[in-house]
Amino acid sequence: MKLVVLGRDGVLNRYRDEHVATPQEWEPVPGALEAVARLNHAGWHVVVATNQPGLGSGLLDMAGLNAVHRHMNELLARHGARIDAVFICPHTAADGCDCRKPAPGLLYRIAERFGVNLSQVAVAGDTLRDLQAAHAAGCEPHLLRTGRSAQLDDEAAERLAAQVPGSRVHADLDALASFLVQRDRPDADVGAMR
């Protein structure tokens, strides 16, 4: 199974300093919905793994979060795209859980649910903790220069990614989709893409 795990805020939707608490606050990153469709059409399953500490701190409730995700799924469907599952860590940093990124717990749960070998799973996010969670779980880490990494220049993005072995840097989700789809082609020169 071809599976890619995406962060949500800053990857699929515009990052906000406050929690995305209503469907109206969930605004897609330009090109992100189309990139998910492209991955889906190339046979990839797309899963979201997201820290949502607003749940644990009481700033957000499950009904509100479900409404946000319904809106996200409706927008994806309009572009011929789908997210196969959303895995949520509801805890705050103080809770000391095993699922809040950079901990790898969400990724372990995804592997169990989908029956995949995590070494074959690409994980993309816009923060160092996304890369750290991917590495801790044995996944392939990818940094997207959107969301919280949008302001990084090439050198700064490479420095951030270099903190986690095996990380690759991409401009956005569309660039990651291009990389994965191209690499997956039977005639792809894998050596040239490393």
pLDDT at 185: 84
Mean pLDDT by 10 residues, the chain (194 residues): 97 94 96 98 98 92 96 98 98 95 98 97 98 98 97 96 98 98 78 48
Residue 95 lies in domain: 2-139
> Within a domain: residue 82?
yes
> Within a domain: residue 165?
no
Is 9 annotated to bind a ligand? Reply is: yes
Question: What CATH number is associated with residue 123?
Answer: 3.40.50.1000
pLDDT at 180: 98
Candidates 76, 77, 1; CA nearest to 43 is 1
Model pTM score: 0.94
Is 41 annotated to bind a ligand? Reply is: no
pLDDT at 188: 61
Is 139 annotated to bind a ligand? Reply is: no
pLDDT at 18: 87
pLDDT at 186: 77
Domains contained in the chain, number: 1
Judge residue 67's burial from the number of C-beta atoms within 10 Å of its C-beta, 0-12 exposed, 13-18 middle, 19 or more buried. Answer: middle
Is 126 annotated to bind a ligand? Reply is: yes
The residues with which 122 forms a beta bridge, in sequence order, are 4, 140
Number of other residues whose CB lies within 10 A of the CB of residue 42: 14
> Within a domain: residue 191?
no
pLDDT at 194: 44
Candidates 169, 176, 165; CA nearest to 152 is 169
